[in-house]
Amino acid sequence: MGICSRALILSLLLCLMAGAGHAGCKFDRVDLRGTWGQAQFKVDVVDTPATRAKGLMFVESLPRFSGMLFVYDSEQTVGFWMKNTLIALDMIFVDGQGIVQKVHSRAKPKDKTTIFGGQNIQYVLEINAGMSNLLGIGPGTQMRHPSMIGSVWPCM
């Protein structure tokens, strides 16, 4: 990656981090924070069995700081696969308190292998492959969204 590309990415990240700490929660956005800093992703929320089953299947591209947030009614054991998903993704598995428990990086398009997120997962954030590594998102990162009741980082 060239110096200009890195400078552009860092500038964009700084803008995102500055806004994440001061803005109120919005239904079409998740905020993440950790020792690495803060970031925001514009999200489509899927919170019914039918919308969760479809997910990002057949989607051909995803803007850089966008994703899909899967919301479950309660914590549970979850597993995902990439059948009919055309883009590589990072899957961020989050418990009911808004704490990232696991990140699966670079899930392969069209792969039928089940990707287990673990137990006690209530939210799954799917973003472009490589973004979690680029930003430093990992276990212990905190996430907030208006659907999260009792989060360690509540919406104001």
Q: How far apart are CA 113 and CA 30, in angstroms?
A: 27
Q: Can you name the CATH fold of 3-144?
A: Jelly Rolls (2.60.120)
Give whole-number Cα distances, 29 to 8, 45, 69, in Å: 22, 9, 9
Q: How far apart are CA 99 and CA 152, in angstroms?
A: 8
Domain spans, the chain = 3-144
pTM as predicted: 0.84
List per-residue pLDDT tens for the chain, 156 residues long: 554 444 334 334 433 443 444 458 999 999 999 999 999 999 999 999 988 988 888 889 999 999 999 999 999 999 999 999 999 999 999 999 999 999 999 999 999 999 999 999 999 999 999 999 999 999 999 999 999 988 999 998
